[in-house]
Structure 1
Amino acid sequence: MKFTLRQLDVFLETARAQNISRAAEALHLSQSAASSALKELEKMYDIQLFDRLGKRLVLNDFGRAIKPRAQALLDQARELEQDLLQRSDIGALKVGATLTIGNYLAVGILTRYRQAHKDADVALEVANTSQIVEKLVNFDLDIGMIEGELNHPELELIPWRQDALVVFCAPDHPWAGKPWLSDEDVLAADWILREPGSGTRQTFDRAMHGLLAGMKSPLELQHTEAIKRAVEAGLGLGCLSNLCMEDAFRRGSLVPIPVPQRAFDRQFYLVLHRNKFRSRAIAQWIAYC
């Protein structure tokens, strides 16, 4: 075996940063050392891993093909080093969570995880489903927690827990206390919704199949709290996860409206890259989930 783990480390960090200087800085190397490691790797096997576009280094087809295996190999090497050093620390973990999960579930899991592993290096990133998926594919995250459905050849979905959306309005809205909304009401309503690309919006659009073309263009907001404030202000109806709404319903600042003819149930998933090495840290996170 001619290549070194340092060369793989430089290759992977350069793929992430798309710049040799930033890769060197992240790895605490001089720019010349990082550049030499990458050049030696390419020269050794007479290959090219990147397309040079100005100052950017963008993975070519061959680089993208070997990246998952290089990442898995490096992850295994790091875990082996922990074993050889006989350390009990569980290793670093980068978790991505969609907004609903990140705000209402992930922090509790993170708290229990840190209580059990006090020195654990855990980073939690909260974004919408499409952003989390992109980062998982690029190995910028170790594991994702999403509320949207997807079919991606590089990702493995693990069913986690059930959830459901709920339609709601302000307590002084004319429809507050209405026994249910008909499809005609849905078409007549002003809506404040999550943005396209979010799991919540995906579930809403699925539930409203057959009506979407006739609905008014919604006001789209990225954050659940902003949607709740807009609905409280009387700008229209909202539709969010039950998880987000429990406190507001209990306080009476917002009220639910049934839409029984529409299915708002959905599944939460844990997501991993199929080529991702399942480290102890990942296994422990899944256990706490």
Structure 2
Amino acid sequence: MNLDQVASYLAVIRTGSFHAAARDRGLSQASVSQHVRALEEQQRTTLIVRDRAGCRPVPGTEEFAHYAGLLIDLAERTSHVLSRRRLMVGTASNIGTYLIQPAFRSFTETNDAELVIAPNGQIADRLEAGGLDVALMEWWDDRPGFQAVRWAEEELLVIVSPAHPWRDRDTVHTAELAVEPLLGGEPQTGTGTLLREHLDTPLRVSMNLGSTEAVKRAVRNGLGISLVLAGAIQDELATGKLHALRLTPPLHKPLWVILRQDLPTTSPAWSLIDLLTPPKQPA
């Protein structure tokens, strides 16, 4: 598969037009069109829908586009591996947005590293494809060839709006959650699995909103309640925009560092793990 053709194809999808893709890649529009046409001929299928709304993947080709992106990512890493020893660290969205940034900033004071934040499932795929050296995740599906190190755990809290009837309470029993509209966030975080394993009460999710930020906004507007990592709501608690309750019994989510089993111990990834998991003090 020709990488220039793949890169042009992805640029068209990303920018929404052949003209913008050509400008983005520093090529002529004719060259980009030729690249996409050649790729479609090689794959024996149309890959891009062209209409007045712009350019987008043909329905059913989204998975091809996903793996094409992984291919370009890996190719770029391969081309730089001998000249640039940068550690590529991937994090699930909540960890990268709310939990890891102070520690990562400290890590980059002595290490050349780049942080990639994406949904949990995308980070897992990029790690498996070789586009990342190490990943910090809320969930891992035990793919072969990798090891998982538990580096922390984060309490799950129930969040409600300041106008909710529970606003004056500090705790809520898990059985009470079944009577409230529950808002879901990003899929593949493992929260649903964790709840099913530890809660006797079946919960019904009324909406899946795709991100913790969207969930927080919806809760603030009184559309329902949700369960989020404690570290994801510190700003809202400080300003009174949300109210949090602890679950009874408490529920904690493990957080994982995932890396290849054959990664040399000299890799900076192990220094990152040491930073995140300091030795426990003797009792």
Distance 1:55 1:178 in 2: 62
Shift of 1:205: 4.0
Distance 1:179 1:162 in 2: 21
Larger Rg: 1
Q: Does 1:167 align with 2:162?
A: no
Shift of 1:255: 1.1
Distance 1:135 1:280 in 2: 18
- CA contact 1:195–1:201 (8 Å) conserved in 2: no
Q: Does 1:236 align with 2:236?
A: no
Correspondences of 1:173-192 after superposition (within 5 Å): 173-178=164-169, 180-192=171-183
Q: Does 1:145 align with 2:136?
A: yes
Change (3 A) 1:21 1:137: closer
Equivalent residue in structure 2 for 1:211, among 201, 205, 209: 201
Equivalent residue in structure 1 for 2:3, among 21, 44, 54: 21
Equivalent residue in structure 2 for 1:108, among 95, 102, 108: 102
- CA contact 2:237–2:243 (8 Å) conserved in 1: yes
Q: Which residue in 1 is equivalent to 2:237?
A: 249
- CA RMSD for the aligned pairs? 3.3
TM superposition score normalised by structure 2: 0.64
Letter aligned with residue 269 of structure 1: W
Larger relative contact order (Cα-Cα within 8 Å, sequence gap ≥ 6) = 1
Shift of 1:54: 6.0
Distance 2:259 2:133 in 1: 7
Change (3 A) 1:179 1:161: closer
- CA contact 2:99–2:232 (8 Å) conserved in 1: no
Is the partner of 1:116 in helix, strand or coil? coil
- CA contact 1:158–1:270 (8 Å) conserved in 2: yes
Letter aligned with residue 3 of structure 2: S
Distance 1:22 1:286 in 2: 36
Change (3 A) 1:257 1:123: same
Identical aligned residues as a percent = 20
Shift of 1:217: 3.2
Shift of 1:285: 2.8
Correspondences of 1:187-206 after superposition (within 5 Å): 187-206=178-197
Shift of 1:251: 2.0
Shift of 1:256: 1.6
Q: Which residue in 2 is equivalent to 1:258?
A: 246
Change (3 A) 1:104 1:183: closer
Equivalent residue in structure 2 for 1:123, among 111, 114, 117: 114
Q: Which residue in 2 is equivalent to 1:222?
A: 210
Q: Which residue in 2 is equivalent to 1:156?
A: 147
Count of residue pairs the alignment pairs up? 214
Change (3 A) 1:238 1:94: same
Change (3 A) 1:180 1:163: closer
Q: Which residue in 1 is equivalent to 2:17?
A: none
Distance 1:196 1:24 in 2: 28
Is the partner of 2:188 in helix, strand or coil? coil
TM superposition score normalised by structure 1: 0.63
Gaps of 5+ in 1: 1-18, 26-51, 57-70, 83-88
Deviations 1:81-130 (A, max 9, x none): 68xxxxxx8x112111011210123322332233224xx2x332212322
Q: Which residue in 2 is equivalent to 1:274?
A: 261
Shift of 1:279: 5.0
Deviations 1:229-264 (A, max 9, x none): 111111111110010122222222111223213x42
